[in-house]
Chains A and B, each alone.
Chain A
Amino acid sequence: MLKIHCPYCQETREEEEFHYSGQAHIARPTDPESCSDEDWGNYLYFRKNPRGRHMEMWVHAAGCRKFFNVVRDTVTYEVEQTYLIGHVPAGST
């Protein structure tokens, strides 16, 4: 059972309250008209799938219903930190 700290509610709650929403920090193409098929394919379907530290989005579905970012280890499942949308994780440059 994961315990996740919602950065909006400032509460640590069980995983049941949240939904996973995939990889975080995916930038939408700034100039969609000039994207090649390869650019679109990469944007739509190719995701980071690391063994270890992973930055991902979760939504507090049974709480404030807001999206936020989580850094989690995909092997130990340890949640390292959670932070607001638009921010970068603590400890990164």
Chain B
Amino acid sequence: MEKYSAYSLFKHALGHHENWQRQWRNPEPKKHYDVIIIGGGGHGLATAYYLAKNHGIHNIAVIEKGYLGGGNTGRNTTIVRSNYLWDESAHLYEHALTLWEGLSQDLNYNVMFSQRGVLNLGHTLQDMRDIERRVSANRLNGIDGEVLDVDGVRRIVPILNTSKNTRFPVLGASWQPRGGVARHDAVAWGYARGADRLGVDLLQQCTVTGFEMSGNQVRGVVTNRYGTIEADRVGCVVAGNSGVLAGYAGFELPIESHPLQALVSEPIKPVLDTVVMSNQVHGYISQSDKGDLVIGAGIDSYTGYGQRGSFTTIEHTIAAIVELFPIFSRVRMNRQWGGIVDTTPDACPIMGTSPVENLYLNCGWGTGGFKATPGSGHVFAECLASNDTPQLAKPFNLQRFYSGALIDEHGAAGVAH
């Protein structure tokens, strides 16, 4: 595979950029794989990449029903942070953030990870108490964080409306300087290219329609395009459909699928150099390198699989953004879209073994999966390779819904992503 470098860019410039190598193959599937991963989004591709790179398993297929990174990986608002309250999730997301910091070098692919900082605003006294608590918990876990008062917030984002005349005046914020944004497509493409180089077969436009079972064991997957493909182990790394897949294997998941939408404005000159999120007024915003304002909303309250959001949610989100940033009141919106997020009762993912043998789960990431992409893949690869749940993933097992050991992250994860 061709290494991307300043030299390769120069060399191809001489050839008018006409002879760049394809980034990955489009292979015919084999009859049998050691591991099949269902879902070719960021998490699935990262899992395949780390399985091949760290665990020496190369006979892997990733099965994707659409195109690579075309689901929620390409639909989110690209925010990366790790300031979660509880130890279990803080460790997992911090593991991911550490991997983010070296990801472009590791993949030889510019994922445009920009650590421009993430602000979580507080608008009420209770918000500020929760922020104090969360930042303290973060610091005990070795995660960077600061509590800012209104002046501190104003210094970082001068265009934010910090007057006392708004419905929910800004009282302060938590500030994670190592947080930021990344280019979501590049993350999927970088992992796909890296995995393909290590021998992983990426099978696109191929839908899994069932499992090949023998007793309580999964032996392979049934696909609409290639028939049955055998596998020793199957990893289910999908969003918006994990309940449907679990149904094929004969069990249920504590997951409800909701539409989550985002929207971007027309490109404008650089005006916002950080990420601003607010749980209270329910909106979050950053500016992409292209100049678009990237705005995120909350999930629609009702369950649904239509990949679009409701107008009422857009209206609430835009109202919140305009209250925070009156300067944006006349910016026109360019595009709006929705993705389907699989939410769990405690806003934490489900990772590890399933009730069926040889079938492993990595799903239920809800509204916050993008930031976890490298960590999720890294940990889940270990899970698939060792046949044992790694320490970081243990608290996230399916069994927690029976034992009661839930990790209630609604405070840090419930709304803003």
Enumerate chain A interface residues (CB-CB to B < 8 A): 1-2, 15-16, 19-20, 22, 37-38, 40-41, 44-47, 49, 51, 54, 56, 72, 74-77
For chain B, the count of residues having a C-beta within 8 Å of the partner chain is: 22
- With contacts A1-B312, A16-B312 taken as known, whether A76 is within 8 angstroms of B402 at the C-beta atoms is no
Q: Are the C-beta atoms of A19 and B301 separated by less than 8 Å?
A: yes
- With contacts A41-B402, A49-B243, A56-B303 taken as known, whether A2 is within 8 angstroms of B257 at the C-beta atoms is no
B311's nearest neighbour on chain A, judged by CB, is: A1
B4 contacts the other chain (CB 8 A): no
B403 contacts the other chain (CB 8 A): yes
* A2 and B310 alpha carbons, distance in the complex (Å): 8
Q: How far is the CB of A65 from chain B (nearest CB, A)?
A: 16
* A2 and B254 alpha carbons, distance in the complex (Å): 26
Within 8 A of A (CB), among B223-278: 243-244, 252-257
Q: How far is the CB of A21 from chain B (nearest CB, A)?
A: 9
B7 contacts the other chain (CB 8 A): no
Q: Which 7 A-B residue pairs are closest in the complex by CB-CB distance?
A: A41-B402, A45-B254, A49-B243, A20-B301, A20-B302, A45-B401, A41-B401
Contacts A/B (CB < 8 Å), 17 sampled: A1-B310, A1-B311, A2-B302, A19-B301, A37-B402, A37-B404, A41-B402, A44-B345, A47-B256, A49-B243, A49-B253, A49-B303, A74-B304, A74-B305, A75-B304, A75-B305, A77-B306
* A54 and B391 alpha carbons, distance in the complex (Å): 38
Residues of A with C-beta under 8 A to B255: 47, 49
Q: Are the C-beta atoms of A51 and B244 separated by less than 8 Å?
A: yes
Q: Are the C-beta atoms of B301 and A37 separated by less than 8 Å?
A: no
**Among the listed B254, B302, B310, B311, which residue makes an inter-chain contact with A46, where contact means beta carbons less than 8 Å apart?**
B254
- With contacts A37-B402, A45-B345, A49-B256 taken as known, whether A54 is within 8 angstroms of B312 at the C-beta atoms is no
Residues of B with C-beta under 8 A to A40: 402
Q: Are the C-beta atoms of B403 and A37 separated by less than 8 Å?
A: yes
B402's nearest neighbour on chain A, judged by CB, is: A41
* A21 and B179 alpha carbons, distance in the complex (Å): 34
**Among the listed A15, A22, A37, A75, which residue makes an inter-chain contact with B310, where contact means beta carbons less than 8 Å apart?**
A15
* A32 and B244 alpha carbons, distance in the complex (Å): 30
Residues of B with C-beta under 8 A to A47: 254-256
* A72 and B302 alpha carbons, distance in the complex (Å): 10
Q: How far is the CB of A46 from chain B (nearest CB, A)?
A: 5
